[in-house]
Amino acid sequence: MKFIVSKEIFDDIPSALFGVIIARGIDNHKSYDWIKDMLDESIKECKKFYEGKVVKESAPITYYRDAFRALGINPNKFMCSIEALVTRTVKKGEMPNINTLVDLGNALSLKYNIPLGIHDIDHFSGDMEIKKATGNEGFIPFGGETVEHPDKGEVIYVSGTDVKTRRWTWRQGENSKITEDTTNVFIPLDAFLENKDDMLKLQGEFADILKNKLGAIVSIGIVDKDNNEFEF
């Protein structure tokens, strides 16, 4: 199985960079107080970092807004997941605990200001790709049942014809939902050359926790314009 980023994506955003984490054998039924503490700390630091700032005008977020525009996505109408997460955190100052993997992902995404997805590998129907939609792929919104079809040319995360995320990092679907029964995951970290150092720190910390604290079998990789595939 491969993770493939279409070369036409790099034509639009040449500085795009994707960290990859594959983790297998996770027991997501368990909960850990230290993960809840991590999330609380990330929320606290996020509020502190953005105090007195306009989220959408701040450097960690502007990278994604600029990339959305380059991909033909209106960032005011379709907010990148990290902007949505930060905005909600700054306004509410709290976040519900979902499960171990989701809470850990949220904590680290907030800590490094980088969007990430967590997808159940056992629900894949082919290679995972980032590419422009043909219009024939299907997407079920989170919590929904009705199948939507992305617009032709829309940037999607897709496995086979099953769309996992619409408009790049805008909205993850029902078929990627992480539950307590999830054991094997594909985690993409969406970044750029401009925030590569933070992406590498995020990748390293996430992989270390998954391996040494959660007992997963872990592999990592990077996809960029010069190497647009990662096999796992």
**Predicted confidence (pLDDT) per residue in 204-216, tens digit:** 999 999 999 999 9
Tell me how far apart the alpha carbons of residues 203 and 189 are, in angstroms, rounded to a whole number. 8
pLDDT tens across 30-72, in order?
Answer: 999 999 999 999 999 999 999 999 999 999 999 999 999 999 9
Give me 71's structure tokens: 């991909």
Handedness of CA 10, 229, 182, 197 (dihedral sign): negative
Per the CB < 8 A criterion, the answer to whether 68 and 77 are in contact is: no
User: Is the pLDDT score of 155 beyond 90?
Assistant: yes
Q: What are phi and psi of 220, to 5 degrees?
A: -135, 160
User: Is the pLDDT score of 120 beyond 90?
Assistant: yes
Give the per-residue pLDDT at 176: 86
pLDDT band of 169, cuts 50, 70, 90: very high
pTM as predicted: 0.96
Q: What is the dihedral of CA 123, 126, 131, 135, to 10 degrees?
A: -80
pLDDT tens across 214-228, in order?
Answer: 999 999 999 999 999
Give me 219's structure tokens: 């592999």
pLDDT tens across 63-115, in order?
Answer: 999 999 999 999 999 999 999 999 999 999 999 999 999 999 999 999 999 99
